[in-house]
Amino acid sequence: MITTGYATREGTAADNADAAKVYELADGTVGAAVVDGIGHGPHTSATSPLLAEVAARVSARRGPLAGLLTAAELIADKGADGKEADAVAVAARVIPGDDITVINWTGDARAYGWNGQRLELYTDDHTVGAQLRANGVALEIAREHDNWLRTSLARATIGTVYTAGVRDRLVILTTDGVHDQVKPEVMKTLARELEDDPQALAEALVAAARETDDGYRDDATAVVITHPSAR
């Protein structure tokens, strides 16, 4: 039986721009999505849950690539006022009896896998900073560009939505409010302690996000999926 949990917490800026959704089909297939709206404000905060809902439902039926591309169509046009929301996102599908969780993502939302001993990052951030590091640019220079996105959900195409297959029994989807503000060793410890309770793990990951030195704490969201068929 596939079990899931998810949690979200508003940051120090007004209006939670994050959203998460888990959807289960009649045959037990699970689709899940985590969405991190770009910027803050009532329009983005209202749109992010809609994007997560669409992405999760379509991911369950057609796979996470279709899930994210369908959600992308909702915000592909700027709208009459030119202020349509945008976001980054990660989505997953788990089929009962299959040992692979399929992941798709765009932007800097992430997917991790926990096999009972190690926590592994399966996604790479679609940021200028990550690209600079991959090309050997000095870390202190690359770090200054970590908030510069190379792609987003509104601009998503088949070529910009990447795919990964995870065989680990536990999968964690996060926004940067979790993985940027919770140390990797803390995430690993929480995964080890709470691997059998996905809801408790999702809540603990979100609660572990700490403020930066200047008092800022981002919106934080996590989805946890346990996949007993995985190795």
Determine the pLDDT at residue 14: 78
Q: What pLDDT does residue 151 have?
A: 85
Residue with tokens 């379509």: 58
Instruction: Check residue 9 and give its pLDDT.
Output: 96
Provide DSSP, 171-221: EEEE-HHHHTTS-HHHHHHHHHHHTT-HHHHHHHHHHT----TTS----EE
**pLDDT computed for residue 40 by the predictor:** 79
In one-letter notation, the amino acid at residue 118 is R
Q: Which helix (H) or strand (E) holds 227?
A: none
pLDDT digits (tens, 9 = 90+) for 47-74: 999 999 999 999 999 999 999 999 999 9
What is the mean pLDDT, run by run of 10 residues, along the chain of 231 residues?
95 91 97 94 90 98 98 94 92 95 95 96 75 62 63 92 95 96 96 97 96 89 88 61
162-166 β-sheet, strand order: 18-24, 30-37, 87-94, 101-106, 162-166
pLDDT, tens digit, 9 for 90 and up, residues 187-209: 999 999 999 999 999 999 999 99
Between CA 141 and CA 174 the distance in angstroms is 25
The answer to whether the CB of 143 falls within 8 A of the CB of 174 is no
Smallest Cα–Cα separation from 178: which of 22, 5, 4, 11?
A: 11
User: pLDDT at position 88, please?
Assistant: 95
| Contact by Cβ (8 Å): 171, 191 | no
Q: How far apart are CA 149 and CA 36, in angstroms?
A: 12
Per this entry, what is the length of the chain?
A: 231
**Residue 230: its pLDDT value, please?**
66
Domains contained in the chain, CATH given: 3-226 (3.60.40.10)
Closest residue by Cα to residue 167 from 95, 230, 122: 230
Task: Determine the Cα–Cα distance for residues 63 and 66; give it in Å rounded to an integer.
Answer: 6
CB 169 within 8 A of CB 114: yes
Say if pTM beats, i.e. exceeds, 0.85: yes
Quick check: 203 and 190 in contact, CB under 8 A? no
Written as six digits, the tokens of 72 are 């992308």
Q: What is the pLDDT of residue 203?
A: 98
